């Protein structure tokens, strides 16, 4: 027996539903009811058929309006939106503060490196100055010794000149 496709209004379920739904009557179904009917009939063509025969639109099923027009819920929704906006602003401010903190840390570490380099240069200059001072001290001592020797030589030469003369 070959499986031929069913005709559009072949089953008893379809006839039953169609008998209760003339196209002119504004019957209202919710989406779960439509889904249940279409799933029960194992086809989605009934969703579109029922939509065309009711006051529902496919757009209202896909994009339902969740907002109520009651003043209490409108006020709560507005307060929620304001709170969400404030939370976003605070989050952005926190991110900016964290960025500023990281920049400050980077600048401080750079300044520390510069300070260490400057301190190293100062220490090196002090060592050189101490070396020059020590060398000058040694030269002074040697000059003093040399001057004593020079004086002794001078005295010796003078004595020799006196003795010979």
Backbone torsions φ then ψ of 65, nearest 5 degrees: -90, 115
What pLDDT score does 122 carry? 93
Q: Which of 6, 54, 64 is nearest to 29 (CA)?
A: 54
Token pair, residue 106, equals 């980077």
Whole-angstrom Cα distance, residue 56 to residue 52? 8
pLDDT band of 148, cuts 50, 70, 90: confident
Q: Which of 14, 85, 80, 75 is nearest to 50 (CA)?
A: 14
Contacts 24+ apart (CB under 8 A), 33-38: 34/61
Show the CA angle centred on residue 61, arms to residues 49 and 39, nearest 5°: 50
Mean pLDDT of the chain: 73
What pLDDT score does 10 carry? 45
Instruction: Count the neighbouring beta carbons within 10 Å of the beta carbon of residue 94.
Output: 10
pLDDT band of 46, cuts 50, 70, 90: low
Q: Is pLDDT at 41 greater than 70 in this prediction?
A: no
Least confident of 3-12, 50-59, 61-70, 126-135: 3-12
The answer to whether the beta carbons of residues 18 and 52 sit under 8 Å apart is no
pLDDT digits (tens, 9 = 90+) for 102-122: 999 999 999 999 999 999 999
Side-chain half-sphere CA neighbours of 38 within 13 A: 16
What pLDDT score does 162 carry? 82
pLDDT digits (tens, 9 = 90+) for 7-39: 444 445 445 455 554 444 445 556 566 566 555
Q: Is pLDDT at 127 greater than 60 in this prediction?
A: yes
pLDDT band of 155, cuts 50, 70, 90: confident
Token pair, residue 158, equals 């003078």
Provide the whole-model pTM: 0.34
Whole-angstrom Cα distance, residue 162 to residue 159? 5
């Amino acid at each position: 027996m070959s499986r031929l496709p069913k005709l559009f209004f072949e089953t008893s379920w379809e006839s039953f539903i169609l008998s209760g739904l003339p196209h002119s009557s504004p019957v209202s179904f919710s989406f779960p009811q439509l889904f249940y009917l279409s799933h029960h009939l194992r086809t989605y063509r009934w969703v579109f058929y029922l939509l065309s025969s009711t006051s529902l639109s496919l757009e209202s099923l896909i994009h339902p309006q969740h907002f109520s027009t009651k003043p209490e819920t409108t006020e709560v929704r507005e307060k929620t939106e304001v709170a969400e906006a404030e939370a976003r602003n605070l989050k952005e401010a926190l991110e900016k503060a964290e960025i500023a903190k990281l920049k400050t840390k980077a600048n401080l570490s750079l300044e520390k490196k510069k300070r260490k380099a400057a301190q190293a240069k100062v220490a090196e200059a002090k060592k050189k100055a101490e070396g020059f001072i020590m060398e000058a001290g040694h030269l002074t001592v040697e000059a003093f010794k040399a001057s004593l020797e020079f004086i002794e030589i001078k005295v010796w030469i003078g004595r020799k000149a006196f003795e010979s003369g």
